[in-house]
Structure 1
């Protein structure tokens, strides 16, 4: 019986691709010092350099300032703007709160394990309005370890007071989320992501609401 469901954040609960595009468009429109640049060029290049979140933004903005010869703003100022303002551009995946509501109503414990900067990720979780659903939230910067390190999964399970075989992990990354969870004895659902061709998950879903029949109709919960 499944007693706990653990989630990744970016690409699983937070539609990061949509959020990044919303933010970077907004950043360009808000900051007059960027308006001598082509809006489309600024947006496209940021998305390229960001590499779907796997390059931290200090490197991205350093490259942007150099390539576009931006003089009105430093890379540090652009990074500070990103850190403080990104939360206002957070876009959830469809059926997010509906899915969490159903799980909580069944008495299932919920957790988030996210790689990333601590306060930044927590601000994004709060911006989605979902912090109260979760019994524990672990963010790699604050934990001193990150997925796929098995210890961060084990810590979350310990805080939830469940065994690996009583829990299921949902994430978009085939290695850091799915395989890492499976290696410690958890079942795993892959939130499909176009950035990856294949994934050896126990199940795969396109929409968050699809996890409910997996857990409930298959008598896992």
Structure 2
């Protein structure tokens, strides 16, 4: 048996993060910030409006910044006072409505499933919101299990969330692969849990030195699994 076949036979399950791994969060975050600006201001100038939304995307830090920070800067910089009871809750309640997958996500996951892999999602976020994103992006039918941090009260990189996901599919760490974009959450968490981590890094020239599999498009997974 070839080395490639041995590697394929070793793994039983592949887990995916959602935002910036399966889902193109830049697209749906942009749409929701645009909606927030439209609902809370009377700005007609398209160039100014675009500048505001682009600033929101910068302040958002790819979802890693507190939404109240963005809300505060909108008011200070542009005088836009968001009239929501709780902007963070409003954001979580509506982001899924704009969720879209990367162009190669469905095809890649479908082919992995055809090869016999169990497919799981392992994500931080609200239980309902993350599941709705997966469904709205048209990927839910491909998944055998979904593990979200709110389900059990632990967030990545806590190994307990990774173990919970593996338990759902009845697989061991050495039989499991984790694909994600945030090194300090997805990769280190999977590594500590004993899984094989795969770093989805969209920047082709990003320097790195650890001996971790790196892909720049989801379709590259098919070279390894």
TM-score by length of 1: 0.85
Asked if 1:93 is matched to 2:108, the reply is no
Shift of the alpha carbon at 1:14?
0.7
Aligned match for 2:30, one of 10, 13, 21: 21
Number of the residue aligned with 2:115: 106
Give the distance between the partners of 1:154 and 1:92, measured in 2 at CA: 26
Instruction: Tell me: CA distance 1:90–1:111, structure 2 relative to 1, closer, same or farther (3 Å).
Output: same
Q: SS at the partner of 1:146? A: coil
Asked if 1:181 is matched to 2:181, the reply is no
Give the distance between the partners of 1:105 and 1:19, measured in 2 at CA: 29
Unpaired segments ≥5 residues, structure 1: 216-221
Asked if 1:212 is matched to 2:222, the reply is yes
Unpaired segments ≥5 residues, structure 2: 1-9
Q: SS at the partner of 1:198? A: coil
TM-score by length of 2: 0.83
Shift of the alpha carbon at 1:9?
0.9
Following TM superposition, where does structure 1 have runs of at least 4 consecutive aligned residues deviating by more than 6 angstroms?
A: none
Cα deviations across residues 97-138 of structure 1 (Å, max 9, x unaligned)? 111111221221111111123322222111111122212111
Give the distance between the partners of 1:176 and 1:193, measured in 2 at CA: 16
Give the distance between the partners of 2:87 and 2:188, measured in 1 at CA: 35
Instruction: Tell me: CA distance 1:199–1:140, structure 2 relative to 1, closer, same or farther (3 Å).
Output: farther
